[in-house]
Structure 1
């Protein structure tokens, strides 16, 4: 099952050096989830052929402009392009007021309904669930209320061994029961245990999105053993004092987070405008956690795939 993230923006605070502020699209079993929505997100979606009409869920980590200032424009474009299906919007409670006041004074009445789900920055909560995924908030430590998001794939049903199923001519109406673990007996009474007819499903994978945050061990347990951990790495570690003042993380600290939480792979982003080249940031994180990559705009990363 497809589980991958495409980076639309990897800069902090301001767009610079052809880098845009934060935005990502998660593709989970061909359902698209937008995570943060900075200015320029629409152009990035057009550039990388991501259709806004396929996005039904948007997750906003916090209310600093580099994480949500593209949202009103995106919602407006969805309206102008004839959207009528509902949209779920997850984020800090004041986000609703911000959006509604924009549309109030532009005298815009959307053609589609928005369901607002307020996030709680104090405790982890399940905020969304469907047949593919469970989404939890990750309380982070930033200057204002901020949550990350943990996307945990649900365990799938067992996989049929096609050749064996066809050989025994098992009726289609029994397939679901077999996937759930049932065994099978032929009309002449021969018994086949389930493990001769099916195999284990793929292991459920997990994507942890840690937006702006001070290095703080309180969220480590929740993100433990992530298949792919995205973690902000705004500064090099020689800027630790600045990172602490602004409630951000250094690249070295991001590597520490990945190592301590035993992540399979680390993706670092939210780079300060002071860095034109990102190689030093990558090298610093890799000095602690070798399985690290830079969040490069336009690039797609598979959750659960080894970094190379």
Structure 2
């Protein structure tokens, strides 16, 4: 699982900071998460292959999370893309994008699909043979969802030596890896745990931006491998959270602790702060395993 931070700051872009956008690579999928201004330029800088993006997930309809989307779509057209693109997001994302295409007399060279959400309950919105994506209802000034990306359980690891010793034909190896017991020609049944090792634990990534402190998301993200949680403010500006519907680094850490996640990544910093290490320091008073997002930074898990 690989996470590329294309942008991780709040509100407006500056000469040195970009608004929210990420690329998550998991089990062969390349998912674009949010699409603030400058996303496609950041994708080029990070050498993200445009052709591998088949699904885009937009958390909410504030500009710093989707104003780069029409540019990405236009570039896909100019590159002659012919594979479908599906955009997941709140109700209204389809109208916004299609209106921009209509008024500029632009036409896509590919099938552009939209999957809009308006439920305030967590929902499964994407599934293939390797990965599922579930919404994480958040509390912001407009309807907002985070997203939980989860690997499906992996096949068990084959113990080839044991299979040979028990006389299991290679034709059954795939069935063995899938967890089945094997009946030999003699009628003897060989238990799967004698033929395999436990698989590598399935990984998961929870993306939570933007939101107030919302502890009722804990059951949804419990035991996630990695949690990205917005931390717009430090505790010294906690009074701004109610008005702006954002969180502090300490509140993000408290969510991570309650959910027993493996790692917390902080981001969506207000540009009022000059030293982002203060965010790490504040969070680590509550939850020890904290990383800071940075534009262009790559995490591999």
Name the TM-score, length of structure 2 as normaliser.
0.94
TM-superposed CA distance for 1:66, in Å, is: 0.4
Q: Is the 8 A contact 2:249 2:282 kept in 1?
A: yes
Residues 20-71 of structure 1 deviation map (CA, whole Å, 9 limit, x = unaligned)? 1000111011210000001111111111110111010100000000000110
| Secondary structure of residue in 1 paired with 2:105 | coil
Q: Is the 8 A contact 2:27 2:131 kept in 1?
A: no
| Secondary structure of residue in 1 paired with 2:100 | helix
Report the more deviating stretch, 41-50 or 211-220: 211-220
**Alignment-derived partner of residue 257 in structure 2:** 259
In structure 2, distance between residues paired with 1:121 and 1:61: 13
**Alignment-derived partner of residue 125 in structure 1:** 123
In structure 1, distance between residues paired with 2:137 and 2:187: 56
Residue of 135, 153, 156 corresponding to 1:155: 153
**Alignment-derived partner of residue 250 in structure 1:** 248
In structure 1, distance between residues paired with 2:159 and 2:112: 43
Q: 1:47 to 1:163 in 2, by over 3 A?
A: farther
Residue of 44, 69, 72 corresponding to 1:71: 69
TM-superposed CA distance for 1:193, in Å, is: 3.1
**Alignment-derived partner of residue 41 in structure 2:** 43
Structure 1 runs not aligned, ≥5 long: 304-308
In structure 1, distance between residues paired with 2:32 and 2:89: 12
In structure 2, distance between residues paired with 1:290 and 1:212: 22
In structure 1, distance between residues paired with 2:135 and 2:123: 5
In structure 1, distance between residues paired with 2:48 and 2:263: 25
Number of residues of Structure 1 aligned to a counterpart in Structure 2? 301
Residue of 83, 94, 97 corresponding to 1:96: 94
TM-superposed CA distance for 1:275, in Å, is: 1.4
| Secondary structure of residue in 2 paired with 1:288 | coil
